[in-house]
Amino acid sequence: MMDPIDKSILVSIYSAKFESIPNPYEYAKNRSLIPKELFESRINKLRNLGFIERSEIALTFLGRESIKVVLVGGVFDILHPGHLHTLKAAKSYGDVLVVVVARSSTALKINKLRIIYHDEIQRKELVSSIRCVDIAIVGFEGTLYKTVEYVKPDIIALGYDQAHGEKEIAMNCRKRGLNVQVVRLNTPIPRIKSSSLKQELGSSIYDI
């Protein structure tokens, strides 16, 4: 089993590239108490072991294989306890939780009657503030598989009420050369849904 500090450094290197942070320590220092000197010494150790590239701070194939990346997607317009449970459950499957926030245009294609209070950048910022979320990105336009090909997760976690089928997603990923496990998450509070909250609160959500 890999040392937790070493694994957290590999996670930081993987995650920093999505935030366009050239120095992974800048990402890591906001999420852990690892001193910079220890971080740098472990970088050298992991480089010598073949987990990090020699020429740059990037994961080798071995380094990437040493962490498990979980992808979960949604609109996340009004965050509620159901979302928090889903995200924590998704994170339990791996080391890195990547949350894909749907573009407003994509969400409206799925349901043209949907009311969206926050644009995708605001929703990304909301999701990023949740402790268990390592990376939040705005999804690509069009098919969800563009985003899957970009992230290359090991696991895709579906919410209990998301329409996509596990077998369908796994099959389409295989067609794209991606070996992805697809899991369906449960919720202890299915009665709490964004759509019902919006229906009850309407525009008064801004008065809370």
Residues 139-184 have pLDDT tens digits of 998 778 999 999 999 999 998 767 677 889 999 999 999 999 999 9
* Residue (of 124, 104, 122, 123) closest to 114 by Cα position: 104
The two structure tokens encoding residue 197: 């909250």
Instruction: Say which residue the tokens 């709490």 belong to.
Output: 192
Q: What is the pTM of this model?
A: 0.84
Q: If you average pLDDT over residues 120-137, what whole number do you get?
A: 92
Share of the chain above pLDDT 90, in %: 55
Distance CA 66, CA 59 (A): 10
Q: Are 43 and 12 in contact (CB under 8 A)?
A: no
Q: Is the pLDDT of residue 199 over 90?
A: no
Which range has the worst mean pLDDT, 124-138, 149-163, 192-206?
192-206
Count CA within 13 A, CB hemisphere, residue 172: 15
Residue 136 carries which side chain, given as an amino acid letter? A
Q: Is the pLDDT of residue 207 over 60?
A: no
Q: Is the pLDDT of residue 203 over 90?
A: no
Residue 206: the pLDDT is 46
More confident residue, 21 or 206: 21
The two structure tokens encoding residue 60: 């080798």
pLDDT tens for 33-66 read: 789 999 999 999 999 999 999 989 999 999 999 9
Q: Are 147 and 139 in contact (CB under 8 A)?
A: yes
Q: Are 51 and 8 in contact (CB under 8 A)?
A: no
The two structure tokens encoding residue 82: 């159901």
